Amino acid sequence: EAQVTQNPRYLITVTGKKLTVTCSQNMNHEYMSWYRQDPGLGLRQIYYSMNVEVTDKGDVPEGYKVSRKEKRNFPLILESPSPNQTSLYFCASSPRPGTYEQYFGPGTRLTVT
Amino acid sequence: DAKTTQPNSMESNEEEPVHLPCNHSTISGTDYIHWYRQLPSQGPEYVIHGLTSNVNNRMASLAIAEDRKSSTLILHRATLRDAAVYYCILRPGADTGTASKLTFGTGTRLQVTL
């Protein structure tokens, strides 16, 4: 089944403890991105990747890192999480950059205390 | 980025057609009109997109005004499973990273009742 998977789905952590949220797609998509969703602010893009080894900042990249070593994986790294990064995170992918439909993962709910 | 305006919420009876409007008066000639929806506790889901002509797919129809300043997403027979937040999004017609970004507004929350 074609899908985007994220792990973990739920995570509660403490300030400063490094964490990684994984994202994987099995559709051979070139384009992948990360969004966060907060009440009243909608979904905002954090980082995106046009292809392997090509990443760039979205609208809210501060406090996050990403890497794209393989086409299927696009992990989101929080080196030193803070409470303002408590949010619902979504990974998305599409066949290529541009006006193609994007497929979203199920989301990761992160709480930083 | 060109903005879209949608009603905050709409209600529909099950099995009835639903017309979800979107205004985008500042749309540029190369902007595509995309619709996504987000069901409760799920990630956004692509519904349909178009440029100038009306479009149909298995999920819905998209009617685009002749001047492209507005569009309407049509669900032909709403079911309880269609209850979601529906987002109308404009995207530049380019294959750049910036053009690929989806800018979600607040959308229209659709309630479907028996």
pLDDT at B95 over 90: no
Nearest to A97 among B46, B95, B105 (CB): B95
pLDDT at B69 over 70: yes
Residue spans of chain A under pLDDT 50: none
What is residue B101's predicted lDDT score, i.e. its pLDDT?
86
Nearest to B105 among A42, A59, A102 (CB): A42
Query: What is the C-alpha separation between A32 and B100, in angstroms, rounded?
Result: 10
Cα–Cα distances (Å) from A66 to A12, A34, A77, B65, B95, in that order, read: 20, 9, 6, 40, 21
What is residue B49's predicted lDDT score, i.e. its pLDDT?
95
Q: Please indicate whether, in this complex, the C-beta atoms of B43 and A92 are within 8 angstroms of each other.
A: yes
Nearest to B101 among A4, A45, A96 (CB): A45
Query: What is the C-alpha separation between B93 and B90, in angstroms, rounded?
Result: 9
- Chain A contact for B42, CB < 8 A? yes
Where is pLDDT greater, at B74 or B105?
Answer: B74
In sequence order, the 6+-apart residues with CB closer than 8 A to the CB of B104 are A42, A43, B36, B44, B87, B89
- Chain A contact for B91, CB < 8 A? yes
Output phi, psi for B76, to 5 deg.
-70, -35
What is residue B1's predicted lDDT score, i.e. its pLDDT?
60
Nearest CA distance, A73 vs chain B (angstrom):
18
HSE-CB for B42 with a 13 A CA cutoff: 17
Neighbours of A91 (CB within 10 A): 28
pLDDT at B100 over 90: no
